[in-house]
């Protein structure tokens, strides 16, 4: 049984499992693509998160977009819909 908890805040995304906690600040994401159903969010070449938008509120979607627009270092690699 795997328990995963995501927390979004103004600084970034926090990913928690029983084994530990990882915090990725918005400026650490190097490549992001938003599709109709998902956010593909990479913080390294082959490491990142896949967030299903069906599991997020519209406020959470907006917080992700705002955090990335305001803090991501390479805006050319951030592809957002909204």
**Residue 2 confidence (pLDDT):** 79
CB 7 within 8 A of CB 23: no
Q: Which two tokens stand for residue 80?
A: 């957002």
The enclosing H or E element of 59 equals helix 58-71
Q: pLDDT of the chain along its 82 residues, tens only?
A: 778 898 999 999 998 999 999 899 999 999 999 999 999 999 998 999 899 999 999 999 999 999 999 999 999 999 999 7
| The model's pTM | 0.88
| Structure token pair of residue 45 | 């070449």
């Amino acid at each position: 049984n795997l328990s995963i908890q995501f927390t979004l805040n103004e600084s970034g995304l926090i990913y928690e499992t029983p084994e530990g906690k990882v915090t990725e600040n918005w400026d650490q994401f190097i490549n992001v693509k938003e599709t109709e159903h998902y956010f593909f969010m990479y913080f390294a070449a082959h490491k990142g998160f896949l967030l299903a938008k069906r599991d997020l509120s519209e406020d959470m979607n907006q917080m992700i977009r705002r955090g990335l627009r305001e803090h991501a270092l390479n805006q050319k690699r951030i592809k957002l819909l909204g």
